[in-house]
Amino acid sequence: MRLPVADRLDRFVRERLRPLRVEASAPVDIAAWPVPGEPVPFSEARGREFRPLRVGAPWGTPWSTLWLHVTGVVPRDWDASEHHRSELLVDLGFNDQSPGFQAEALAFRPDGSIVKAVSPRNAWVPVEGEVDLYLELAANPTIPPESHWRPTHLGDGPLPESSPLYTLRRLEIGRIDTRVEHLLLDIEVLAGLAEQLPPSSPRAARIGSSLSTMLDAIDPDDVRGSVERARAILAPVLSSPAAASAHTVLATGHAHIDSAWLWPLRETIRKCARTFSNVLDLLERHPDLRFACSSAQQLAWMEEHYPAVFARIEEQVRAGRFVPVGGQWVEPDTNLPGSEATARQLVVGKRWFLEKFGVETSEVWLPDTFGYSASLPQLIRLAGADWFMTQKISWNQTNRMPHHTFWWEGIDGTRVFTHFPPIETYNAELSPAELAHAERTYTDHATGTVSLAPFGWGDGGGGPTREMVERAHRQADLEGSPRVTLGAPRDFYESARDEDPALPVWTGEMYLELHRGTLTSQVKTKQGNRRTERLLHETELWAATAALYGDAPYPHELLRRAWRQTLLLQFHDILPGSSIGWVHREAEEAYAALAIELEEAIGASLAALTGPGTRTLTANSAPLPLGGVGAGAVALSPPPRAATRLTATAEGGWVLSNGVVRAVVDAEGLLVGLSGPSGRNALPEGARAALLRLHPDYPDKWDAWDVDAHDRARARAIDLDRADTIVAFVGDDGAGVVSATRSVGASTLTQTLRLAPDAAGIDVEVRVDWRETHRLLRMVVPLEIHADETRAEIQFGHVTRPTHTNTSWDEARFEVVAQRWIHVADSTYGVAIANDSTYGHSVERSLSVSGAVVTTVGLSILRAPTFPDPHADQGRHEMRFRIRPEATLTDAAEEGHRLDRAERVVLGGQEVRPLVACSTDGIRVLTVKLAEDGSGDLIVRLHEATGGRQDGRLTFGIPFATIDEVDLLERPLDAALHRADTDAVDLTLRAFQILTLRCRPARTTDPGPRRPTERQI
């Protein structure tokens, strides 16, 4: 309700009270040095020539840095008092946007030690006596995150020729009257609370009466002298305790710092220094505050670039007040990274926290990511974590999650305690409105009494402020409000986990009904990630094999650095394609540099394994046999079959046939028939597959993030079903090829259908010179299959999704993720569609003219959003797909690995048997590497891949002294598998179970073509 006294109160606060907070001010002298290029450390800046600068001066072209040297004296007549303090008051030219999206500064003492940061809601630095400070000003441009319909070039990089963005409005010493400050907070909390209460509430009436009495008691000629009397009048309503049944909010300080987004990585490092210095200052002033920090990468930056800040963080970690959480290297996307990368976020992050702080993080902390893979619960538990926290699911457009505290069950049946804070923000200010919202929206009052609230300025950093802590104190036990307790996330978990032993269960993926476009935006970044993940896998596999077969050196340092770089680039605004162009340009450069290093390492390992020679060998790094070469082996490939037959049809099209697959192509280069050995046509009669469709793509709000259903319905397929030119031929490799060039607007597309002599499916290659904006390019494949559900690859398994739209949950899932493949099948027949770099998929049902059910798979290939990067996806692209008829789930995985380029042709002298092999395709060895601790032990990570219990035998190329089941961090597990003196292990895995083995070598042997000895244990 709005209080009757509200207008009077607002005017009093605005015009009479707030101006009294600064009782007096004193000038300072200012000198400036503009950095000519990229930021420099304090040690370099201090020795430069600083020139005088005045308040009112413009400063800061986009992304530039200005150093200020500020000197002055706190007036001697400002005597020390418990009711006053002195501060340097700063206004860099702040606007009304949130902190972190505009100018910021960091204050240094002359010795280079950091005091704290300056931002719009934290615009002060403590001073006393003589003032001698250096301020590093960052002219980060304001790129409003809500302005996704206004393209801007501010994210392209530094613009030194531009006009200054900011004007230095204020820089002076201020004397702060803390009594006025506290009265302002008293009024804010009480008035804010009253607005959340029902109009008929006695509590609201009493608050209104007290505020009115307080205003009456103010002496208009001596407002400052009336402050203590005013606070005394409000004290009774501020001390009235909360109801016994009031909800409890466990508030933990937090600063959600995006590792890149509307700023580049280099600026994130400075944002972390600014935020953490503010937090450290606040922790020293408020002993009851706890601060949760989630990303190991950000703390590693502090250790490297700001060691003094890191040392202070270490002290507060030991004191239990600066609390590492989350256990991951960064807060990643969870849909797009592959299996091992998703595990490595936990492996690398948790190991770093353990090594640097001796802290075992107990939760996975992912407040802001765009959907949650159903593989996560098992990985969370295998990493030694107890629970999971997220927030973003509150952004669902259509359906609300039914619970806030629940068990989340993954694809293998593992359950993890999960909390979704009902305050519905990870940047809370602890306002009465936010707390009331938390209590109103909490769905589990019948069984739970406590929820979590991460508070502090975030996204661009900033963290908690003293005002937020004061609000928490005032609302700790306040009638009409939830109770607020300051604490660490672990305090919440320990309070909440035992409240109800029979929590509800959510099974499978947690699909975010928003930001579906992140599965497609910035395809070059996604391709760089896919390629790098494969190269990392190959580097580890072949280097471990070479090390154990021939004592070759293992590239520990390269892999450590490459994994950290890759994991950083999987941050939830980089890999999804939702950052400024500067970020994606640097990501693609980083991927290219990693590719060179990793290719060199792979070449060296394979050369060591195969020895000198001129035999043409195929190295298969996939967990399945490919082309006659076993998983993890290097061997001669069998010769291909006879060349594919290419024959013309009377209708002007062609038939491609290799004895296994028959593909019929029409005169426009589109598939109109596709069959395997049985002869059943996978396509509906009269339908065309691999048809490229162009959709308008104007999201309602979030440009790079979203694709909306209304645009999906407005396809302009007619623009891309005609060929400008078309050629058909049999290539030198014996493959039958039909290649069509199409055009739309300023873009050209070359679509090639290719059937290799030994292929079980047809390849579709798309080369695009893309010049569109706000267009979505999709490829559709209609299948005459009555499929009630589809299966799509995710990390360490697959998920099953319905093809119908019976419920609002089904209808909202119109764009879904698949990693390398999607499989569509009825009870007797299936088709696999694999890809090399596409993640966004759709599945729709319809009826053919004959009444048969048609299941149509759509693949989102390219987008062209203009915010935050107006150049997103422009340029040349290549992507490949394979459509395989009569495919099983294993066939689908096989085609996915083929397109992932798991086969590598090398020249050498000898074949190499697998270091690790499994007797069944249903159990797949995904990772073979040496242990993270440098011991030389072999680490093997495998999983059940079909969704059912599997028995299998794992055999090794050398014997091992011991083989033990371990967790993701390669530590022994209680009551786990243990074998001694063996080169084989019999396994039974449940559906989608992940198993990690640590194998201590007993001896080494020479590589050779012979198979490992199978010995029963």
Catalytic residues: 368
Q: Give CA torsion, residues 995, 996, 1002, 1006, to 10 deg.
A: 90
SS3 600: helix
- To the nearest 10 degrees (0 to 180), the angle between helices 202-217 and 227-239 is 170
Q: d(Cα 262, Cα 242) in Å, to the nearest integer?
A: 41
Q: How far is CA 201 from CA 4, 186, 682, in A?
A: 14, 20, 67
Residues ≥6 apart with Cβ < 8 Å to 56: 167, 168, 169
Task: Find, among 839, 733, 823, the residue nearest to 787 by Cα.
Answer: 823
Backbone angles phi, psi at 342, to 5 degrees: -65, -40
Are 989 and 938 within 8 A, CB to CB? no
Structure tokens at 122: 């934290």
SS3 570: coil
SS3 755: strand
Are 35 and 78 within 8 A, CB to CB? no
Structure tokens at 557: 């340092």
Are 859 and 821 within 8 A, CB to CB? no
Beta-bridge mates of residue 748: 743, 769
Are 140 and 97 within 8 A, CB to CB? no
Q: d(Cα 756, Cα 641) in Å, to the nearest integer?
A: 9
Are 548 and 924 within 8 A, CB to CB? no
Beta-bridge mates of residue 741: 725, 750
Kindly write down the DSSP assignment for every residue of 628-694, as one continuous string.
Answer: TB-TT-EEPPPPP-SPPEEEE-TTS-EEEE-SS-EEEE-TTS-EEEEE-TT--BSSPTT--BSEEEE
Kindly write down the DSSP assignment for every residue of 165-177, as one continuous string.
Answer: -EE--EEEEEEEE
Q: d(Cα 45, Cα 52) in Å, to the nearest integer?
A: 16
Task: Find, among 300, 351, 305, the residue nearest to 328 by Cα.
Answer: 351
Residues ≥6 apart with Cβ < 8 Å to 457: 98, 99, 100, 119, 121, 122, 255, 427, 463, 464, 465
Structure tokens at 853: 């059910």
Q: d(Cα 832, Cα 882) in Å, to the nearest integer?
A: 8
Are 460 and 263 within 8 A, CB to CB? yes
Are 257 and 457 within 8 A, CB to CB? no
Sign of CA dihedral 429, 435, 440, 445: positive
Q: d(Cα 427, Cα 459) in Å, to the nearest integer?
A: 8
Hey, how many other C-beta atoms are within 10 angstroms of the C-beta on 474?
A: 22
> How many angstroms from the chain centroid is the CA of residue 960?
38
Pairing of strands 450-455, 248-254: parallel
Task: Find, among 789, 790, 840, 783, the residue nearest to 817 by Cα.
Answer: 840
Side-chain half-sphere exposure of 814, counting CA atoms within 13 A = 16
Q: d(Cα 48, Cα 121) in Å, to the nearest integer?
A: 30
